[in-house]
Amino acid sequence: MDLVFQKICSSRSYDDFDKLGVSPQLVHQVVTSAYAPRVSTLSTKKADQMASRFGKVDNIHTLFGYFENVFSFGENFDKQISSSVANNKEQSLNGSGCVRFVGDVLNFSTKQVDPDELFNLDFFQKELKDYKEMTVNSIRLIDDAELNYDTYRRNHIQIERLENSIYLKMISLVNMSESPSMFECFNHPVMQLVVISADDLKEDIDGMVSTLEKRKYPKWIDIDSIHQHILIIFDQSDASNLQNALKIQEELKFEKKKQSTVVPLNFTDSKSPVLKLYPSVFSVKENDELEDGSIFISQELFESLRLPLQSIVSRELVLFMNNKIKLWHEEVVTPRTSITGRLFGGRKWGGSSKTNFFSFGSSSTSLAGGQKEDTILGSGYNSSAGYYMYNSPEMILRKLGDWYFMLGDYKNAYSTYELIKKDMTNDNAFPYLASLQEHSVLSLLIGAIQKAGSGSQQLTLKMISTVINPLVESSFYSYLSRCNLKTYAIRMIILVSEFYFLLGQQTAMTTKPGSPISPSEIFLTESVRLFKKLIDAKLMGDLANGFLIQRVAVVYSSYELLFSFDPNFLFAPDEPYYESENDLKKVVTNPNKNCFGVTRNRKMILWLLLATRAFIELGEHVEAELTLWKVATELSRDTSKGRRNEWLERRDGLFFELNTKLENK
């Protein structure tokens, strides 16, 4: 099932940016899919039985995962969506239908409602190791000959693509969480899609449709911001099924006031071309079999389900979100940004968690029978339970900002986050504040990525040092020290590092000849700094750390490529440079003066060696060999007859030591 990442990587054109690692553009694309609006799927037993006719599928939720992948990356991953979300939020979803189909995440009867980690670190490490072993097996099958440096050189493009998919898998594991969180709303479903069969009994349908209203939810879940839609599927080969489906649709409309869509499925078509679909990039394998989890269905069957799904997403879901955004803006944002709101905090009476002149008491005052005032609509932060009520101004604004973020409107997302930062700071709501700061940073970075494509003004060094870096440091500290939320800290550092990396590349590519190129170096330096911070923290496990060390080398490898875009850029060092400090400089022949002093070639090689050592210590000898062969390939590109890299060949050096260990393994 996980071989889907190998398909994604192999569908891209192989260029210099993919030479040592997966490109940050593709990482950004996966992250964009991770933050897509959630659609919770419920299904009856008969609907699940019909889903099993599509192939190796157990239920409707699993089936929709195959369409989720198609919406995000294109059919068979041959045509991928743009790496940046369009500014027009409706077009962002209309063009790709990019959503996350999740299971019945609103069933809290057997779940904890306390803040919890995004994912289980032990599970993360096991999944990453399993995928790594699967990739190694795929590499060994490329060539009939023994895997050595010669076979690596013959098949290096295919091998590097397989290797790149490991890091992409790691990114998906970091963003795979589906359970709703109380202090951010990205995992809260925007829509509940109930799938029933035309053969279902009325009582089964009624029980499934009424789940949203009848269940008991935590006080931070707002069911009014979840849109419900019913999907009625049937086999069109049976004529009676159509009448049953239309009858069910009519009953749902007039008796329960529910919207529904009738979808006929043709399972008997044998003339239509067959498509190969892959499971969601955020799914995990349910067994240890080394298979890609793909299914084969006819083009007609595929279109009969894709079209209604995409129509529901692009019309109903987007329309529902836009209407809610407009309502929340009128009810909460406008009062807060008005003159009165600025003078008195913009809070509704009774909605403050602190005493003020107009509130006539604190929201934490006990009422009759020991009931707290947090049960009143519009109340603020419950410090003892550690959450905001779903209808408090703070939670409404947080949801509004998150919805802007999911729809690709990062400017409004950042502005909305700024409206509640002070309140959450005063309330000491540290998990809420840390997540708010994280996504304020992500909004700024992704917004800058969008502008970078058009060559617009980028983030300045002052903004990075005075706004972004303090927010990252504060959020990282809060996640680890105040909240004990390691996985949130991991997600934040990886995403911020990757977006800095992408900004560094995009800025250099849009830099005009003769213009200063220092912004690219600033972004790449910040990316390396944060990757090092995560490596030093040792939060992810040794294997993941090895790939993070390798990622630092990938960032350093970009320097030479990025600074060579400008054909007029020449930097010739002064002649005395070769006559002072180090006599070995005098023997360097034909130095590459076009990029002299701006590349990070030696640092790149050093970090590849550090990654090799980390893999050897873990007993991952194949990964160690592949990484060391990357070093050898880089050395073969040396145009100075090897003299520039003599430091690597010392017998007391790391390169010689690692070579010896691998030869004697």
Report which DSSP code applies to 85.
-
Residue 222 has pLDDT above 50, yes or no: yes
Q: What is the model's pLDDT at position 150?
A: 87
Residue 372 has pLDDT above 50, yes or no: no
Between residues 494 and 336, which one has the greater pLDDT?
494
Q: Which of 96-105, 307-316, 330-339, 593-602 has maximum average pLDDT?
A: 307-316
Helix/strand/coil (H, E, C) string of 540-565? Answer: CCHHHHHHHHHHHHHHHHHHHHHCCC
Q: What is the model's pLDDT at position 144?
A: 74
Nearest to 441 by CA among 472, 477, 395: 472
| 357 Cβ contact partners less than 8 Å away, ≥ 6 residues apart | none
pLDDT band of 457, cuts 50, 70, 90: low
pLDDT band of 549, cuts 50, 70, 90: very high
Would you call 538 exposed, middle or buried from its count of C-beta atoms within 10 A (0-12, 13-18, 19+)? exposed
Nearest to 262 by CA among 201, 198, 210: 198
| 323 Cβ contact partners less than 8 Å away, ≥ 6 residues apart | none
- Number of Cβ within 10 Å of residue 163's Cβ equals 25
Taking the mean position of all CA atoms in its chain, how far away is CA 92?
16
Read off the pTM. Answer: 0.85
> Residue 274: helix, strand or coil by DSSP?
strand
Percent of the chain predicted with pLDDT > 70: 75
* Mean pLDDT along residues 489-514: 85
* Mean pLDDT along residues 397-403: 96
CA angle at 269 for the pair 266 and 274, rounded to the nearest 5°:
105
The Cα 654–Cα 661 span in angstroms is 11
Q: What is the model's pLDDT at position 358?
A: 36
Q: Which two tokens stand for residue 23?
A: 């490109």
* Mean pLDDT along residues 523-542: 94
Q: Over the stretch 6-47, which tens digit does the pLDDT of each residue have?
A: 666 665 544 545 667 888 988 998 898 899 999 999 999 999
Q: E strands, 126-216, where?
A: 191-197
Q: Which two tokens stand for residue 224?
A: 């009014």
pLDDT band of 94, cuts 50, 70, 90: very low
pLDDT band of 579, cuts 50, 70, 90: low
Residue 373 has pLDDT above 60, yes or no: no
Residue 370 has pLDDT above 50, yes or no: no
The Cα 515–Cα 518 span in angstroms is 9
Q: Over the stretch 262-296, which tens digit does the pLDDT of each residue have?
A: 999 988 866 778 888 888 888 776 554 546 678 88
The Cα 295–Cα 543 span in angstroms is 31
Q: Amino acid identity, residue 183?
A: F
* Mean pLDDT along residues 628-634: 86
Q: Amino acid identity, residue 145?
A: A
* Mean pLDDT along residues 593-609: 74
* Mean pLDDT along residues 484-506: 94
pLDDT band of 369, cuts 50, 70, 90: very low
Q: Are 69 and 11 in contact (CB under 8 A)?
A: no
Would you call 239 exposed, middle or buried from its count of C-beta atoms within 10 A (0-12, 13-18, 19+)? exposed
Q: Over the stretch 164-206, which tens digit does the pLDDT of each residue have?
A: 889 999 999 999 888 899 999 999 999 999 999 999 899 999 9
Instruction: Compute the residue count for the chain.
Output: 665
- Number of Cβ within 10 Å of residue 649's Cβ equals 12
pLDDT averaged over the chain? 79
Q: Which two tokens stand for residue 225?
A: 């911001």
Q: What is the model's pLDDT at position 361?
A: 35
Please report, for the chain, the start and end positions of each structural domain, with discontinuous segments joined by +: 36-75+94-110+181-327
pLDDT band of 154, cuts 50, 70, 90: confident
Q: Which two tokens stand for residue 522?
A: 């600033």
Count of CA atoms in the C-beta half-sphere (13 A) of 191:
27
The Cα 467–Cα 427 span in angstroms is 21
pLDDT band of 564, cuts 50, 70, 90: low
Q: Over the stretch 408-432, which tens digit does the pLDDT of each residue have?
A: 899 999 999 999 999 999 999 999 9
Q: Which two tokens stand for residue 478?
A: 């809060």
Residue 453 has pLDDT above 90, yes or no: no
